[in-house]
Structure 1
Amino acid sequence: MRWYIAGTIFLATTINYIDRQALSVAAPVIRKDLGLNNEQYGWIVSAFLLAYAIMQVVSGRLIDKVGTKKGFGIAVIWWSIANILHAFGRGLFSLGAFRFLLGIGEAGNYPAAMKAVSEWFPKKERSKAVGILNMGPGMGAIIAPPLMAWLILSFGWKMAFVITGAIGFLWLFLWRWIYHPPENHPKISEAERAYILSDRPFEAIAEKTPWLHYFKYKEVWGAALARFVSDGAFYFFVFWLPSWLADVKGFSLTDIGLFAWIPFVLSDIGSFTGGWASSKLLENGVSLDTSRKRIIWIGAIGVIPVLGCLYIESAYWAIALISFALFATQFKQAALFTLPIDLFPKNEAASVWGITGSAGSFGAMLFTPVIGWLVDTISYSPIFVIVAFLHIISAILVTLFIPKIKTLTP
């Protein structure tokens, strides 16, 4: 049953990223239709990331309070409605407002998902479960380009947002039916229940702590700063890859639909492989600390070859390099995203993950308008240089601030 739960969360994360990336696929059409430049598009994206950053902290606390099932459902309803509202966008300010609303709702996805993982999986399987649900961003990015391209060509960009926004309501029926805590799930076997709860006695069960209390831990700072510097590198490809293909490589909307999804296939494979590899290391007797950090460093180094995009003319070889970079990125993130639920017990998981996720979104929010300004004033080249090394900085921060990964007692 725990793997059915993981699969359901993976579907939610996939829908989350279909709705999130819908704008990036439609961006070349919307910019032309509404007369927006790259810097204005960057500010629209930043509006999403600002709300996403603020609300990950808030939603983490709310989900810890109201519970995983209810909290996840509210988040999906909110972001689905916000995505539909994009159909009424008329320019910079209205689209920015709707992106802000989308960010409020979508911020609940990962805190709720990580809390569910902490409830349903013992420590030795958590990175594997996180690897599965973290395939959602890649799957959403795989589906979004061809789906949005077809919807835009068939019905126009406004109706495309209405249709993609409606998908979340279908998922809600599945979630309401399948999700219960393992302690009282009606479909779980006694053997699986005992297995899931097997390491609970070894987790510190803390009283609810004030939000600011977590900042006394250097480990929280390390995980948060690691996300702050590296999340923007991933969002560059999520939000700007279709525009780069159109602006630099001359791709049409049809071409974007045919090819822009390919790097995110490798992204998904990287996420699953990173989660599996970390769990395998644990099973083979490698310490939790070493298994997580080894995956983080291998992934960080693997992003550097994306610099080759500056020197090759072929769009297809460039897509291959970006695909490898996204594989490495998500290979790393499968371990990095697991750190909050490694460091804190399950009843604190959503709150701590919300802090680190918020830091990542703030970093991406600040990076995004810089991307737009660089594209309008220089080119995409300096952005590729920055993106190539942000994950190395992220890995260094984890190493410095988290000398040993172990469960802390708030």
Structure 2
Amino acid sequence: MVTTETQPGDAGVRPQRQANRRAWGIVVLLFLFFTLNFADKAAIGLGSQQIRADLGLTAGQYGLLSSAFFWLFAVGAVTLTAVLRKISYTWGAGLLMITWIVSMLPLTVPTSFGVLLACRIALGFFEGPAHALCQSIVADRFSPERRATAGAVVNAGSSVGPLVAAPVLTWVILTWSWHAAFMVLIALGVMWVIGWFWYTEKLPFKRSDIAAVGAAKIEDPNGAIMVPFRRLLTLQSFWGLVLLSFAGYLISSLKVAWLPAYMNEGLGYSASTVGMLVTLPYIVAVAVLLSAGMLSGRLLRKGYSSRVARGYLTGAYLLVGGASMMIFTQLPAGPAQLVFVIAAFAVNSVAFSVAFAGASDFLPARQRVAFFGCIIAAYSVAGIVAPYALGLIVEHAPTAAQGYSTGFMLVGLVVCVLGVVGALMLNPEKSKARLEKLTAEYAARGSRCAS
């Protein structure tokens, strides 16, 4: 007869390990979720030449098309995050992906500029809450020391998406058409939905405060802190996060919308060469993002404040990116310039993982999604303004190369300023103390009213 010896504590260790494995499995699926999220953004930029030729668009009109994605992005970020607070994470992420698929369906066949514009607006609306939902799911399953790393893995999809999409979708577009690129994205989206509902917990549609079976139990140190949501928007750290993420999204939106066109029209590379070169910033961005997340966690473990590990660290990366952008506009096309182009466009996602982890350090879990949604709504303005403004600058410049140089110089300067100011304003420790004080005031006020 074979006997199994059970050690004290085994009953608690095994479920915890299973919960940890499931948590990391969800991180992988969210990484793929974000990968598709950014691959569909990149599709328009990669197909810019065919789209402009098919529809007869000027540079300004194409810039308008690129910015259209963000016209309702803020509205979606605020309104849909409010809805997602009441829906289980299983259904929330699954339904978002389904709406993305539906929004891209009309682009699989020849269409008009108006339909293309409407589809991009709709897709932007439904993608608005994606980042907030992903960061909230991660924050609920990981401790502060591991939260930035897990969030960085998810956000790596923002680089891997365009990285994979650039060569693959460029080949699809050159072999068939830009419509075929959206067919590929839709097929991948359907596969993700099937995998998501198969792997995740079978939760009811309506969200419950009771932890799902098998989910990792992470103690929320801020669980007792609950103040009216509007007071959260008055915190200095909220506006610090807005500035940091705004700077990051200036880079993100231009990387997706204009980097391929810049390499082609501004630097003179062929379309096939651009399909390969444009992947370089995304390759480096993955390494930068993951190393930044691990560095942030390491700083916390060594006793550094969250202000240093989240705010100062994010600001430093953005400062490097902004300075690199200004430098590459002054260099001739070649290997040296390409190094600074890569550096400029590889740091943007740090603002959406490390900095957002700083918000989770002081926010109550129940208020994270809505808080993140408001930040996303604010920084999405960068996605509206930057692509359109750069298109106008290029259109009215004596040459395309000169227009790109002027536009990127201005953006680099803005990124540097916002990175420094935002880093100084993001102070999770101070914000947590402020929330505790407000909680005590509201509690005292409630006691007086009760008496």
TM-score in terms of structure 2 length: 0.83
From 28, 37, 42, the counterpart of 2:63 = 42
How far does residue 96 in structure 1 lie from its aligned partner after superposition? Answer: 1.2
Partner residue of 1:337?
356
How far does residue 239 in structure 1 lie from its aligned partner after superposition? Answer: 1.1
The reply to whether residue 78 of structure 1 matches residue 99 of structure 2 is yes
Q: Secondary structure at the match of 1:36?
A: coil
Q: Distance in 2 between matches of 1:67 and 1:300?
A: 34
- CA displacement, residues 219-253 of structure 1 (integer Å, 9 cap, x when unaligned): 22332233334412221112111111111222333
Partner residue of 1:9?
30
Partner residue of 1:380?
404
Q: Distance in 1 between matches of 2:54 and 2:111?
A: 9
Q: Distance in 2 between matches of 1:179 and 1:323?
A: 36
Partner residue of 1:265?
283
Q: Distance in 2 between matches of 1:394 and 1:311?
A: 22
The reply to whether residue 396 of structure 1 matches residue 420 of structure 2 is yes
Q: Distance in 2 between matches of 1:122 and 1:21?
A: 33
Is the 1:28–1:246 contact (alpha carbons within 8 Å) kept by the matching residues of 2?
no
Partner residue of 2:85?
64
Q: Distance in 2 between matches of 1:359 and 1:12?
A: 22
Partner residue of 1:254?
272
Q: Distance in 2 between matches of 1:53 and 1:288?
A: 28
How far does residue 346 in structure 1 lie from its aligned partner after superposition? Answer: 1.4
Partner residue of 1:281?
299
Q: Distance in 2 between matches of 1:66 and 1:275?
A: 29
Question: Number of aligned pairs?
Answer: 400
The reply to whether residue 22 of structure 1 matches residue 46 of structure 2 is no
How far does residue 343 in structure 1 lie from its aligned partner after superposition? Answer: 3.1
Is the 1:296–1:333 contact (alpha carbons within 8 Å) kept by the matching residues of 2?
no
Partner residue of 1:237?
255
Partner residue of 2:383?
364
Q: Sequence identity of aligned pairs in percent?
A: 22
How far does residue 209 in structure 1 lie from its aligned partner after superposition? Answer: 4.7
> 1:44 is matched by which residue type in structure 2?
L
Is the 2:159–2:283 contact (alpha carbons within 8 Å) kept by the matching residues of 1?
yes
The reply to whether residue 136 of structure 1 matches residue 153 of structure 2 is no
Q: 1:400 to 1:305 in 2, by over 3 A?
A: closer
From 324, 329, 347, the counterpart of 1:328 = 347
Is the 2:311–2:426 contact (alpha carbons within 8 Å) kept by the matching residues of 1?
no
How far does residue 391 in structure 1 lie from its aligned partner after superposition? Answer: 2.8
From 167, 172, 188, the counterpart of 1:151 = 172
Q: Distance in 1 between matches of 2:180 and 2:268?
A: 26
> 1:12 is matched by which residue type in structure 2?
F
TM-score in terms of structure 1 length: 0.91
Q: 1:89 to 1:295 in 2, by over 3 A?
A: farther
Is the 1:266–1:323 contact (alpha carbons within 8 Å) kept by the matching residues of 2?
yes
Q: Secondary structure at the match of 1:384?
A: helix
RMSD over equivalenced CA pairs, Å: 2.2
How far does residue 393 in structure 1 lie from its aligned partner after superposition? Answer: 2.3
Partner residue of 2:125?
104
How far does residue 145 in structure 1 lie from its aligned partner after superposition? Answer: 1.1
Partner residue of 2:17?
none
Q: 1:315 to 1:238 in 2, by over 3 A?
A: farther
Between structure 1 and structure 2, the one with the greater Rg is 2
Q: Distance in 2 between matches of 1:308 and 1:70?
A: 46
Structure 2 segments unaligned to the other structure (5+ residues): 1-20, 204-209, 398-402, 440-451
The reply to whether residue 226 of structure 1 matches residue 234 of structure 2 is no
Structure 1 segments unaligned to the other structure (5+ residues): none
Q: Secondary structure at the match of 1:329?
A: coil
Q: Secondary structure at the match of 1:50?
A: coil
The reply to whether residue 168 of structure 1 matches residue 179 of structure 2 is no
**Quick check: 354-363 or 58-67, which moved more?**
58-67
> 2:329 is matched by which residue type in structure 1?
L
Q: 1:108 to 1:403 in 2, by over 3 A?
A: closer
From 182, 196, 204, the counterpart of 2:223 = 204
Q: 1:185 to 1:386 in 2, by over 3 A?
A: farther
- CA displacement, residues 338-384 of structure 1 (integer Å, 9 cap, x when unaligned): 23322312111111111111111112212221111001112101222
- CA displacement, residues 98-132 of structure 1 (integer Å, 9 cap, x when unaligned): 10011122123111101101211111211111111
Q: Distance in 1 between matches of 2:143 and 2:359?
A: 14
